[in-house]
A = this chain, B = another copy of it.
Amino acid sequence: MSTPSAAQSAAQPAAKSAAQPARRGPYAKSRQRRESIVAAAYAVFAAHGYRGGSLQDVADKVGMSQTSLLHYFPSKRDLLLAVLHQRDTITQDGTPRDPEQTLADAVVRQARFNETVPGVIELYTVLCAESVTDNHPGLEYFTERYERLRRSYLRAFTALADEGRLRPGVDPGRAAASLIALWDGIQTQWLMAPERIDMAGCLRDYLDLVVLPA
């Protein structure tokens, strides 16, 4: 699933800088440089994974030497973390923004949005799975992200249970983990056969099974 929690939205340089008034001079140039490097790294890691994509590939893409690139991001690891935060600025988490919106509507809307950004989904899918390999710098990011998302959906399902709207027998904690799991897994199938996989339909079906009508 390509859906960070809303709690993650702090400390996102690209989004923040976009909201600031335009500046001139060396600071603005440096910021632009950083943004182009992150965009290039994003594409390289999505296409080859973190281990498969090299700093040289990123430097080539942005027309810079590797030494200059390392001036902006001292290590490949720093670049990966910048790319993961950049991803967070693009996607939302599928929890309702508006009190009138149902959980299912929020999830389905997010899933439909994700179909418009396949590069983001690919990056997320590849880096998340790769992060379980030995000493991968993304492991902490993804582990924390899952914990945060499980807590967020646990709250949503517990609130529904309190209203008597969780189907009897459904465990809110396992439902939270299952919704996230279904979302991740259906994105992988969709990347391989987008014309055949109805991501939003599968997510809505699941929530229709778990949540009783109001």
Chain B hits for A4, CB < 8 A: none
Question: Which of A51, A169, A185 has the largest number of chain B CB atoms within 10 A?
Answer: A185
Q: Please report which residues of chain A, range 193-214, place their CB below 8 angstroms from some CB of chain B when the two chains form the complex.
A: 193, 197-198, 201-202, 205-206, 208-210
Give bound CA distance, A130 to B51, whole Å: 10
Give bound CA distance, A169 to B197, whole Å: 18
A128 within 8 A of B: yes
Give bound CA distance, A134 to B206, whole Å: 32
Which of A28-36, A88-96, A173-181 is the contact stretch?
A: A173-181
Known: A143-B192, A192-B146. A52 touches B205 (CB 8 A): no
Q: Please report which residues of chain A, range 1-21, place their CB below 8 angstroms from some CB of chain B when the two chains form the complex.
A: 1
A52's partner among B51, B132, B184 (CB-CB below 8 A) is B51
Q: List A residues at the B interface (Cβ < 8 Å).
A: 1, 46-49, 51-52, 122, 125-126, 128-130, 132-134, 139, 142-143, 146-147, 150, 167, 169-171, 174-175, 177-178, 180-186, 188-189, 191-193, 197-198, 201-202, 205-206, 208-210
Q: Which 8 A-B pairs have the closest CB atoms?
A: A181-B185, A51-B52, A129-B129, A184-B185, A185-B185, A181-B186, A209-B209, A47-B134
Chain A, interface SS category? helix
A205 nearest in chain B by CB position: B174
CB-based contact A182/B178 at 8 Å: yes
CB-based contact A178/B188 at 8 Å: no
Known: A47-B133, A181-B182, A181-B189. 18 other contacts (CB 8 A): A47-B134, A48-B51, A49-B51, A52-B130, A126-B130, A128-B129, A129-B129, A129-B188, A146-B192, A167-B209, A170-B205, A170-B209, A174-B205, A178-B202, A178-B206, A180-B189, A181-B186, A182-B182
